Structure 1
Amino acid sequence: MSDRARAYLVLVLMPMFFSTNIVIGRAAVATVEPWTLAFWRWVLASLILLPFAWRGIRLHRAALLEQWRLIALLGFLGMVVCGGGVYLSLTSTTATNGTLIYTSSPVFVLLLEAIFRGQKIVLRQVVGIVLAVLGVVMIVLRGELARLLALELNIGDLGIALAAFAWAVYSVILKRPVFRTLPTVPLFFAISSAGALMLLPFMAYELVGTGRLPTSAAAWTSILGLAVLSSVLPFLAYQYGVKIVGPSITSVFLYFLPVYGVSFAAIFLGESFHAYHAAGFILVMAGVVLATAPLDAIRARRTSTAG
């Protein structure tokens, strides 16, 4: 098998790994407190990454320490808000809703880059943004405008929407030039470790209130699954794809994430797929593709390959 064929196989699996976060998380919050779940997920993920990151940490220690404030902010956004915050939200909503709402995050990235970096937005992207936002609204309102008028909004859905925005902020900060000189694995280790450290007081507060620690085999299987399947494997798969086929083509495969997520929610959690889910899915996916698909880059790559 050639490197490119192997890369495409890995990239087909990558969104499947990413989608397990919300599905496993939704199942796990029945037995593990949400902040505890997030804490142990990122502790284990950091320990798994440590052997791969150690050499880079030693070589770039000064640069990492210099950026400790931004790394701490990334840890808060990526692991606290998008970790424990998502799991807390999943106690009040379904994995199907969570997956579809979270899929809108790339649209928020585009908006933030337009506002704070002056990135030009073309008509195609404006249409995409509008469609994606309408899709999220459709899911949050469950297809009933009366819910908005009566302020009957699900707190879990709103929490997932907030996490999607937080992930967009995380992504924009991570694109800052100061991080381009740092190797990816050591940087990710530093961010995940910072996030785990910041999750500690949340877990401690939770423990004082509930007295519940994960003790069952099922609980630790969920935590290990989140650390490996939802954290380390998709991260490594994404980096491998970027290395072999480039970031533009690699990012396109992320559009399969809601397909996996909704399917897994139905198969493993027995969740129903309603008409408003279908409408929201179509709107969000059409919007995200229109707003973020790197069409010019893909065409250019195909042209150069054909030539």
Structure 2
Amino acid sequence: MSLPLLPSFLRTGPLAGPVAAYGLYIVGSALLASNPVVGRAVAHVVPPIGLAFWRWLIAFLIVLPFALPGLLTHRVQLKRQWRRYLLLGVLGQGISGAIVYYGLERTSATNASLIYATSPAMILALAAVWLGDAIRPRQVLGILLAMAGVLVILTRGDLDALRHLSFNSGDLLVLTGAVSWSVYTILLRQSGTPLPVVTAFAANAFAGVLVLAPFYAWETVAVRPVPFSVSTILSIVAVALFASVLALLAYQKTIAMMGAARASTALYVSPLWAALASWVLLAEPLQGFHLMGVALVLPGVMLATLQARKPAAEPATEAA
């Protein structure tokens, strides 16, 4: 994938070689983990819709200088597809954003990150059902393992909860967000002419802001406003910068340096960073069901999504 609109230091320069590639891989996975950790830290201070609204507005403004040429070049295509972008805003920034923050008011960042880690397996299953993509037995096994891990997390390792259907509402809200993200990703795959990465990011972020704006106004009047203090502003900027903009740029650069298959495994490492950060910063205890979830979710997602090795004689075809 070409990155014509990224800042030049992310396209060329000293970021080269395996050490730099794996360093960026580790940094990128940690950036992805910052969203549930910060979201949980401010869950009872910043209202969820307000956090999602300001996160995506600030992210849009950060990338706008780089995205503006592409937005102008592709303005006809963007206007023609405005309904589609609003739907993407509902799924990607509304349900996968605000609803997940509602969930983080009621569950731990560790739970949320582990549940969200199953998104690649969900995408694979949805693509098989929705788009008719071929699916191998290994991938079916991986999906089943990942879903078993989610079940362990939802039940807190107590299968009696299945009989009583007694699940934590926060976990279910995060699961709703993960499903919505999976649908969002499938819809992105179905786009006609793909836009440059930063252009598409800016268009999706702006659509999310438009979708969230009326709900944010309602929340401000009917529930509670965002308390704009130094700590809350820094928290919102951190989510916008680290979990949105820098996570995207690091991920795209890692794809360019390592290939899509290996770079995508950053999604599997991210929950480990989230669990560590939650333990250190939020004093969230690591429990037995978390370890059981890790033991099922991460291998399951890897089985489901890692590409099979190509024969030695076949040239590599991973797109950068």
Residue aligning to 2:247? 234
1:148 Cα deviation after fit: 2.0
1:207 Cα deviation after fit: 1.1
Residue aligning to 2:187? 173
- For residue 148 of structure 1, the aligned residue among 162, 165, 168 is 162
Is contact 1:4–1:245 with CA below 8 Å preserved after alignment? no
Code of the aligned partner of 1:151: L
1:134–1:228 Cα change, 3 Å: same
Code of the aligned partner of 2:203: A
5+ unaligned residues in a row in structure 1: which ranges?
none
- For residue 61 of structure 1, the aligned residue among 75, 81, 101 is 75
Is contact 1:93–1:156 with CA below 8 Å preserved after alignment? yes
- Within a 5 Å distance, the mapping from 1:76-225 to structure 2 comes to 76-180=90-194, 182-225=195-238
Residue aligning to 1:245? 258
SS in 2 for 1:3: coil
Is contact 2:143–2:300 with CA below 8 Å preserved after alignment? yes
Code of the aligned partner of 1:88: Y
- For residue 271 of structure 1, the aligned residue among 281, 284, 287 is 284
Code of the aligned partner of 1:115: V
1:240 Cα deviation after fit: 1.2
Is contact 2:117–2:267 with CA below 8 Å preserved after alignment? no
1:247 Cα deviation after fit: 1.3
1:10 Cα deviation after fit: 1.3
1:193–1:256 Cα change, 3 Å: same
Is contact 2:145–2:300 with CA below 8 Å preserved after alignment? yes
Deviations 1:240-281 (A, max 9, x none): 122233212211222211111111111110001111110011
Residue aligning to 1:262? 275
Deviations 1:95-126 (A, max 9, x none): 11101111111111001110111111111111
Residue aligning to 2:29? 15
- For residue 31 of structure 1, the aligned residue among 45, 62, 68 is 45
1:302–1:204 Cα change, 3 Å: farther
1:302 Cα deviation after fit: 10
Quote the Cα distance in structure 1 between the aligned partners of 2:97 and 2:239: 10
Is contact 2:116–2:178 with CA below 8 Å preserved after alignment? yes
Code of the aligned partner of 1:143: G
Range moving further from structure 2, 154-163 or 67-76: 67-76
Q: TM-score, normalised by structure 1?
A: 0.94
Give the structure with the larger helix fraction: 1
1:301 Cα deviation after fit: 10
1:149 Cα deviation after fit: 1.4
1:179 Cα deviation after fit: 4.3
1:145–1:117 Cα change, 3 Å: same
1:71 Cα deviation after fit: 1.3
5+ unaligned residues in a row in structure 2: which ranges?
1-13
Range moving further from structure 2, 242-251 or 103-112: 242-251
Quote the Cα distance in structure 2 between the aligned partners of 1:136 and 1:301: 39
Residue aligning to 2:298? 285
Residue aligning to 1:48? 62
1:177 Cα deviation after fit: 4.4
1:300–1:65 Cα change, 3 Å: farther
- Structure 1 consecutive aligned stretches of length 4 or more whose deviation exceeds 6 Å: 299-303
Quote the Cα distance in structure 1 between the aligned partners of 2:17 and 2:190: 29
SS in 1 for 2:265: helix
- Identity of matched residues, %: 40
Range moving further from structure 2, 70-79 or 47-56: 70-79
